[in-house]
Structure 1
Amino acid sequence: MPSELTNLSASELAAGFRRSDFTPVDVADAVLSRIAATDGDLRAWTRLNPAFRRDAEVAARMFDTDRDVPPLLGIPIGVKDVIDTAGLATEGGSRLYAGRIPGVDAMVVSRITAAGALVVGKTNSHELALGATTPPTRNPLDRNRIPGGSSGGSAAALAARQVPLALGTDTGGSIRIPAAACGVVGLKPTYRAESCAGVIPLAPSLDHVGPMARTVTDLKLLHAVLQPTAATIAVPAAPRVGLVASLLHPCSPGIAEAVTAAAGFLRSAGLTVTELDLPDLAEANETGMTLLLAEALAVHGPAAQQRPELVSPDVESFLDIARNLPSDRVAEARRSRTVITDRMRTLMNDVDVLLTPGLVCTPAPYGALPTDPLDLGGETLSVADAHVRTNLLFNLTGQPAGVLPVGLADDGMPAGVQVVGRTGEDAVVLDVMARLEAGCR
């Protein structure tokens, strides 16, 4: 039974608890066994919660005594190591903050625990959430590849069937990149729709915290706890879809084919699908990276300058770029952001959601550097450029964006599609994701 329990989704676990097929303690034991068996080389976790099994015992007694139980009661969840958990170290994946133990939970942790979820432990984050490779975590689908980042630990734990739910953060794609790389699902919600209180910041004007899961049904379950007012948003019966053709080149051919097929499925299901281009994508990504680096330097620069020996070379290289940004360039980026956001708002007048690749590449080899080149069907992009190409724009605009797998690329790794909605319309994004999951997985 233990291996069978870790294969179940959160929704299936909740139903099994209600039927008394098994208990939260059975599931907790299965999760701990699964982690012990698989995490030696995967390294998705920085630490486990010593109270996890005891919390499962409390949840089991609640099922015995209460008829009306909270929606996530007994469900295990991983929490990224930038999200505060009271009494459990939260270090931001960095030696700069080693031994940091928060006194109170982050707002999102308070919400999931109030809903009955059981925190298994802290999942690995790329240092300071400033990177897309998340060492030392490896991709469960191919241990010789990266899991993406910076929420790579959460995505790896999900893909390895260690937990059914996880929390991540997203400043330039850090939920969506690892979701696409590991073949799981994730949502970057509308900016500030889910509170970042108690989350170690990277770039506050771009930071988002959001849900990750293995199925869209589970993603919606967790999202409803984090954002209880989302159910009040009206979802069109037939959302209008814009396929962003300009993001299919350069792109790994297998991914471009899978995204095109996903658009074809929606069209065959009766939705209107129109091809369109994103205006000034290069400008948007340059603007976003300028603001991200400038804000990251303001947040972490003082600590890094005081103790440079505790900062890894790749993070230090980003901070060094930020130190050399001209002030007028940062000011211009702030002005450009307003223009780009207005352009996107105008573009979304004619469609309800956009469809893009989740990533334009499959996961890079483990140990890859941000500057390493990737072959994308005869064209090349650096690892860094390939990872932010489809993602950073929507941190800049604050629009909701979710990723799910819709097939396999040429090398057998997942091909993910991204669904982007209007600001505040997270429910529409989740609706289209659910349609795609039903038809393409």
Structure 2
Amino acid sequence: MTEATRQMGIGQLLRSFSDGLSPVTVAEELLAEARLAGERHHHILAMDADAVIASARLSENRWKTGTARPLEGIPIASKGSVEFSNLLADAGAYMQCVVVPNAGGTPLNQPEGMDPTNPGAEAHMPGGSSTGSAIALACRHVPAAIGSDAAGSIRIPSLCCHVVGLKPSRGALGPALQGLSPTLCEIGPMARSVEDAALLYAAMSGQAAGEPLAKPPIFGIFDDASLPPAMMQHLNEVANRLGAQGAFVVRRNIPDFALSAEAGWTVLCYEAAHNMADMLPALRNSPTSYLKYVEKGLSITATAYQAALAFGAQFAAGLDRVLEGLDALMCASAWSAVPRRNDSDIAEITAKWGELCLPFNLSGHPALALQGPNHNGLPTGFQLVGHRGSEVELLASGVWVQRSTDYHLAM
């Protein structure tokens, strides 16, 4: 495989297929790359090489006969907990591999001993439960991936592995995932660039991809007084860079942000306890991180759960008002530098990261994880939060950010 082919995103591959590049050749080369990456980073749960090549042959025939579909011949990695066939098969994409659905714990369907590592910083955390999808993208054996997000599970791995991930609005891609928290969890696209994430989202949603912004965006920046100064400095650095490129950036406050995270944990744990109660004996015999949510949820009353949902509706309405007049709101998505895998307080650190993401699961607003500047050899990132139901417009804002900066090219 040439390095140029390995670096191709969705759009580049589709154009190359149209010009005669063989989807079978690409599939074979990316499979070889995936095998090597899986041996090193331990993120691939399952991969059927024969099925991959068969799918690529069908795609090659469609390109030759002029019947190519929107993502014809594009290999995808999917998180183990996400059903792929109903999302993208009709668009011509095919499953290259199923990736591990967690990191820092062993889910019940994950082989013992699989502990995924971060391709860009192997001593550091690769992220949360869509870690495998992010690793596959960072290793460049797929140009696109699917994850799910109940409390930052797309956005945190995207930051750690220096890729892009979208948590859509509530219900934007159909009924919620059952399991951990149907109210909070959304399936979303992940890629190395926002342009590719937009193409993937268009295929997943059936919507047309958006047009580029006609003028520089108006961004709010959430001036979070509780955020550690170094993290706020990173966000201000990005805001200053975007302002220099023509964006209009204004300071905004999000009322009750900390309380929204508390309410979000209440909803997540209560629903986890009730949806996974029959799995509790197995969970207690496994080091999965889900156990703590289920056990905490068992002590939450139905009254407290309903109160948290009611608070979430009020918080969402307040966030709608904060977003008035803005294209999107810039918010931090990390409480610290990417922690080391063996840090004794890593569980506490990652919980704090989740508290920066969870409010937007509770409110149902879309949130797009974007790469920030490299600091001390480690990735940084932030999230753009959009109006409810405005995924296409939010992705267009993200495209503008990446065309105005080089952060996504740094690692």
Q: TM-score scaled by structure 2? A: 0.90
Partner AA of 2:228 in structure 1? P
| Cα displacement (A) at 1:239 | 3.2
Match of 1:220 among 187, 198, 207: 198
State how far apart, in whole Å, the 2-side matches of 1:135 and 1:352 are. 41
Aligned with 1:344 (options 310, 319, 324): 319
Matched, 1:399 2:365: yes
Q: For residues 35 and 169 of structure 1, do their structure 2 counterparts lie closer, same or farther at Cα, with a shift above 3 Å needed?
A: same
> Offset of 1:230 from its aligned partner?
5.5
> What's the counterpart of residue 396 of structure 2?
431
Name which of 268, 274, 286 aligns with 1:292.
Answer: 268
Who is 1:78 aligned against?
A: 77
- Paired with 1:14 and 1:230, the residues of 2 have a C-alpha distance of 16
Task: Return the letter of the residue paired with 2:36.
Answer: A
Counterpart residue number, 2:8? 8
Which residue pairs with 1:408 in the alignment?
374
Structure-2 change in CA distance of 1:34 and 1:232 (3 Å): closer
Whether the 8 Å CA contact 2:178–2:275 is kept in 1: the answer is no
Conserved? CA contact 2:125–2:339, under 8 Å: yes
Equivalent-residue separation in structure 1 for 2:371 and 2:130 (angstroms): 17
- Deviation per CA, 1:210-265, whole angstroms, max 9, x where unpaired? 100011111111111112336589967443211111168215x2x54442232223
Distance in 2 (CA, whole Å) between partners of 1:275 and 1:260 is 10
Equivalent pair of 1:5/1:30 in contact (CA under 8 Å)? no
Whole-angstrom CA distance in 2 between matches of 1:333 and 1:362: 30
AA of the residue aligned to 1:148: G
- Give the fraction of aligned pairs with identical amino acids, expressed as a percent: 26
Match of 2:351 in 1: 385
Question: Which residue identity lines up with residue 331 of structure 1 in the other structure?
Answer: Q
Q: How many residues align?
A: 398
Which of 330, 350, 360 is the matching residue for 1:355?
A: 330
Query: What does the per-residue CA deviation read over 1:84-123, in whole Å, with 9 as the maximum and x for residues that have no partner?
Result: 25xxxxxxxxxxxxxxxxxxx3x32xxx111111210211
Q: Secondary structure at the match of 1:414?
A: coil
1:250 aligns with 2:215: no
5 Å-filtered alignment, 1:146-225, equals 146-196=125-175, 199-225=177-203
1:325 aligns with 2:291: no
Counterparts in 2 of 1:336 and 1:151: CA distance versus 1, 3 Å: same
Alpha-carbon distance change, 323 to 33 in structure 1, aligned in 2, over 3 angstroms: same
SS of match in other structure, 2:276: helix
- Per the alignment, residue 409 of structure 2 pairs with none
CA separation in 2, counterparts of 1:114 and 1:333?
38
Q: Deviations over 1:361-415 (max 9, x none)?
A: 232222556x548xxxxxxxx3133311321110011111101113112x31111
Contact conserved, 1:158 with 1:164, CA < 8 A, in 2? yes
The answer for unaligned runs of 5 or more in structure 1 is 86-104, 374-381
Unaligned runs of 5+ in 2: 407-411
TM-score with structure 1 setting the length = 0.84
The Cα shift of 1:278 comes to 1.6
CA distance in 1, matches of 2:123, 2:114: 12
User: What RMSD in Å do the two structures reach over aligned CA positions?
Assistant: 2.4
Q: What SS is found at the alignment partner of 2:31?
A: helix
What is the rounded CA distance, in whole Å, between the counterparts of 1:352 and 1:436 in structure 2?
Answer: 12
Letter in 2 for 1:383: I
State whether residues 367 and 383 of structure 2, in contact with CA within 8 Å, keep that contact through their aligned partners in structure 1: yes
Q: 1:247 to 1:154 in 2, by over 3 A?
A: farther
**Aligned twin of 2:259:** 283
